[in-house]
Every structure is written in structure tokens, then in C-alpha cells.
Structure 1
Amino acid sequence: MNYINSFLSTYYGKKIIISFTIFFILYLLKKLNNTIVLKKIKETKTKYYWNKTSNYFIILIGALLIGRLWFEGFQSLSTFLGLFSAGLAIALRELITNFAGWIYIITKKPFIIGDRIEISDFAGDVIDISILNFTILEIKNWVNADQSTGRIIHIPNGIIFNQNLANYTKDFKFIWNEIPVLITFDSNWKKAKNILLNIAKKHAEHLSKEAEEKLKQAAAKYMIYYNKLTPIVYTSVKDNGVLLTIRYLIHPRKRRGSSHEIWESILEEFSNNEDINLAYPSQTIYLKK
């Protein structure tokens, strides 16, 4: 016991006591933040951002106080941070890259919480951004039409520097969706095309006005230009029949729902017209007598 007391009274012992005191005070601040402040915040998004910001602030304050305590020779903060960063760059290169990626993400904002993105082999909705990685709720993979798989994927922030990023929802906030409808050669394709165009207008034309406004806003930042934003049906010929392709604008998260509604309308309309038939691969076999 006397040995412990004598050690704690030494130069380094006092520093250890002060360090633990700083840790304890910061721990109490975090607990107070969680039990008092966060409970009073009702809005989920505000609570999330406040919790993240306060945690980063507490960690930064702790690192600065304890760093200055143990490295008294560093009279300026810039000298301390410079040498500290150099050491980390050698020993923790990947961690530094991920930290740099975080700085890039929060300053340049290639995506924010809630955006739907695709990067490398991953696609999903961004649900968290932290110092070393960001987290997405995965879409695609074995699930069709951009719907969620239910998996949560953590991706290192450094990936932003060496992979192409696609953002479904930033600035323009619309994507083009296409529904191919193949009918037989002996079908009345002009009538079928008119039916499909009416169906597309019914389900998607109301989005054209909204898309036009968003396009004007995006055009101030990017060179984006479209001649036509209203639904359209394109005609082409395939081996098995006439291909009529519906093309229309849709919100990224509503693509599957809109395809479902449009296909149900198509099936109902075609069932009422005997001169229109869906095509499918088939063979005709002739037997010699």
C-alpha cells in the first residue's frame, strides 16, 4: 500500500490520476447527455445527429487534454497534432485513409444520411456515417427491383477515393424506369402501344411536373438536359414479337410498386382485347405425312 501511495505521489503517478479524472469527468458528461439531453429530443433525426456530434466532441476534448498532459514538451497544438498525425500515418495507414474519407464525406457531401447509393458491389440506403465507416441498409443482391434485403453493411470510408459512387436521390431525385412488353407479331401493336401509353400517363405523368422543377434546380449545378420528361413508349422488333418499352420517371424507392401497378393494368387491359397477345418463346413443329 505504501508503494502505491509513493508511486501516485511521483511525477507520472500524478499524471495517471489526472488522466483517470479526465476520463471520469468525460464519462459523466456522456452519461448526462444520454440521460437528460437525448431524452428531451423527440425527433429521431435530430436525436441521431446530436448524439453523434456530442460523442465526437467529447472524444476530441479528451484526446486534446490527455495529449497535452502527457506531452508537455509540445508547446503548440499544431506541433502536437503534426507529430501525432505523422506517427499514425505510418502505423495506421488504412485507419487514416478511412478518417480522410470521413472528412471528405462530411465536407463534400457526396451522400448524406437517407440517400440511396451504389458503390463498388454495394447498394443501399445510408443509415449511418461514422469516423471510420458508413453503414447502408442493403438493396438488390438476391432481391429484385431495388428493394431491401434486410442486411446492414458497414463499408470503410476510404472506398470513396477509389470506387465510383452513384447517388439515386441527390439533387435530381428521380430515375428512369423501363418496362418491356413483348407482344406477338399478329397483335394489333398500334392499339397496344396506345394502351400502354395511356397506362403510363395514368401512373406516372403527374411526376413530370415535379421532375421538371427538380431538373431546373439540378441544372444550376450540373449540365443536365432532357428533351422529354413525360412517359413514352418505344417500339422495336425482337425474334419473338414486337417489343413495346414503357419509359417513365419515378422516385427511386417506388420503382417496384409502380412496376407492379402498371403490369396489373396492362394485364387487365390486354385481357379485354382479343387482338393483343403477349409473346413468349415457342416452336412450331411440322410433321411430314
Structure 2
Amino acid sequence: MLEQFGAAIQQVNLSTPVLRLFGTTLALLLFVLVSRALLSKLIRTGIQAPELRRKWLVQTRNGLILLFLLGLVLIWGQELRTLALSIVAIAVAFVVATKELILCFIGSLVKGGARSFNIGDRIQVKDFRGDVIDQNLLATTIMEVGPGKLTHQRTGRATVIPNSLFVSEPVINESFTQDYVLHVFTVPFKRDDNWQLAQQVLLDCARAQCEPYLESARKYMRRLGDRRGLEVPVVDPRVSLQVPLAGEIHLVVRFPCRQGQRSAIEQAILLDAFGSHDFSGKRKEGDEEGEEPSAVIE
């Protein structure tokens, strides 16, 4: 009887380290969950801007996940080292089977190290284009913008992009300059159309739309150039010419605006220009007697 009791005590003593590890892991999990709840409540009550609040919520969640994973490694590190020699073959098979997941982790490191984009930026990866609303270790979620590459309105669809794409594909960040961006759109004409008048009208409409904030945009671009060591771009609206085909003239309109106003200002310029003018057909004699605009208007 005493021998059986002693054997039971010995078994309990042998299992105590394992129980201690499980207890530590449970305590770490509770700490992470409580911290996330407190920080989320603090962020929701303390930050009023929706974009900034969403950014801090995502970063806090990802930071706590990394903290939890690091804690697991520290807690179970000794136990894992004792099993290392016996699971080499299993590890090789695991790497082959989970290659895509590993590439997602690597892609997360690549985009984080390169600072490719942040929450709220408008990006394009392959044929996927939209505003970043969430990102984690495996995937990045964007609100689709389109259709096509020249439209700036949300379609209402969310796209989940695996982070493995960021390892092999370039990322186009349309919000690189943050507060103010230089927006470009193209208006095609035939050679027989009155594109000279259209060039001047589009420029006047662009200047009228940008006038309220043009000086503020100039100052912001100068500060951005000084901070990042870049050449300061010309901010003033301009209309330049392109000749993609022998019978076509494309007017390329460029103007500064805030990130969320690209589509609205573009539509306002087009409505002002085409709502009050007819650019079809050759120029009339009365137009030819007037002042001819230059080929490139800046």
C-alpha cells in the first residue's frame, strides 16, 4: 500500500513541470485577452477619427498576437529543444506542406520592413486595387476601388490578398504623399475635334476647382520634399498632350487634391467642361482668329 502511494507521489512530481508550463501558458493567454479588451476600449473612447481608430485597433491586435507567440516560444522553448532531433523529418514535410503559409509570413515581414503602405492607403497589387482596411500576418484586406484602374469609387466589395503576393509582386501606393496627391486622368479626342479649345477649358476648370486649397497643397509638397529629400513636384494644374495614334489626341489633366476627393473633383472638372462647351468637329473661323493655346499648358 505504501509503495503504491509513493509511486503515485512520484508520478505527480514528474508531471508538475508540465502542469506549470500549461498554467503559465494559460496565464499568458488571459493577460493578452484582458490587455486587448482594455486597450480596445481605451482606443474606442479616446480616439474620435475613424481612420486613426481603426489603424490603432489593428496595430494593437497584431502587437498582442506577436507578444503571445513570443511568450509561447519562451515558455515552451526548453521542451521544444528536447524534441528537435526527433522531429527533423516531420519539420521538412511540414515546411513543404505549409509553403504558402510561410510565404505569407515572409510577405508580412517584407511589407512591414519596406513600409510599403499603411491602413487607409490606396494600393494596387497585380489586378487588385483598393483602400487598405485591415492587415495581419497572413493576409491584407482592401475595399475594392474600380472598375478598372482609372476609377476612384468603391465598389462595395472587399478583397483579401494573401501576403505571399508581396514577396514577388510590386506594390503601387497611390497615397504615397498622404494628405495631398497629384491626380491624373486622360480625355481622348479625335484630330478633327476642337481639342485646342478643350485644352484651355479643362485647364480653366481645373484651376477653378483647385483654387481654394492650391497654396496649402504647395506648402505641403514643399515640406514633404524637404523631409524625404525629394524634388518638389509642380503642384499647379496642367494639361498636356499625348498622341497615342495618328488620328487621336489625348489631353492629360493633372491637378492636386486630397486623397478622398480625387473622383469628386475629376467629375466636377468634366461636368464644367463638357456641360458648357461643344468640342466636336473642326474649329470654326471665329475660333481660329482668337489666341491659340500652346501645345502644353502648365
Counterpart in 2 of 1:253? 260
- Hey, what's the Cα distance between the residues in 2 that align with 1:144 and 1:19? 56
- Hey, what's the Cα distance between the residues in 1 that align with 2:191 and 2:113? 54
Counterpart in 2 of 1:119? 125
Unmatched runs of 5 consecutive residues or more in structure 1 = 271-275, 280-289
Conserved 8 A contact 1:142-1:149: no
Conserved 8 A contact 1:175-1:252: no
1:66 aligned onto 2:70: no
Distance 1:40 1:196, change over 3 A: closer
Counterpart in 1 of 2:162? 156
Give the TM-score, by structure 2 length.
0.69
Shift of 1:253: 3.4
1:138 aligned onto 2:147: no
Counterpart in 2 of 1:23? 25
The residue correspondences of 1:41-80 to structure 2 (distance < 5 A) are: 41=43, 42=45, 43=47, 44=53, 45-68=55-78, 70-71=79-80, 73=82
Conserved 8 A contact 2:39-2:60: no
The residue correspondences of 1:1-289 to structure 2 (distance < 5 A) are: 9=11, 13-41=15-43, 42=45, 43=47, 44=53, 45-68=55-78, 70-71=79-80, 73=82, 89=95, 92-141=98-147, 145-171=151-177, 174-180=181-187, 182=189, 185=192, 190-205=196-211, 206-207=213-214, 210-211=217-218, 213-214=220-221, 217-218=224-225, 221=228, 226=233, 228-234=234-240, 244-270=251-277, 276-278=278-280
- Hey, what's the Cα distance between the residues in 2 that align with 1:170 and 1:61? 35
| 1:231-280 deviation per Cα after TM superposition (whole angstroms, max 9, x unaligned) | 2234578888876553323444322111211122123432xxxxx4446x
Conserved 8 A contact 1:177-1:255: no
Conserved 8 A contact 2:182-2:235: no
Larger helix share, 1 or 2: 2
Shift of 1:64: 2.3
Shift of 1:181: 6.1
Distance 1:11 1:146, change over 3 A: farther
Of 191-200 and 131-140, more deviation after overlay is shown by: 191-200
Shift of 1:23: 3.4
- Hey, what's the Cα distance between the residues in 2 that align with 1:190 and 1:224? 31
Shift of 1:99: 1.4
What code does the residue aligned with 2:163 have?
A: N
- Hey, what's the Cα distance between the residues in 1 that align with 2:70 and 2:138? 15
**How many residues of Structure 1 are paired with residues of Structure 2 in the alignment?**
261
Give the TM-score, by structure 1 length.
0.71
- Hey, what's the Cα distance between the residues in 1 that align with 2:169 and 2:139? 15
Shift of 1:222: 6.9
SS in 2 for 1:153: strand
SS in 2 for 1:38: helix
Unmatched runs of 5 consecutive residues or more in structure 2 = 48-52, 282-298
| 1:38-85 deviation per Cα after TM superposition (whole angstroms, max 9, x unaligned) | 3233222333322321232022202320232x23649xxxx99xx8xx
SS in 2 for 1:59: helix
- Hey, what's the Cα distance between the residues in 2 that align with 1:179 and 1:225? 23
What code does the residue aligned with 1:61 have?
A: G
Conserved 8 A contact 1:193-1:233: yes
Conserved 8 A contact 1:135-1:154: yes
- Hey, what's the Cα distance between the residues in 2 that align with 1:133 and 1:186? 48
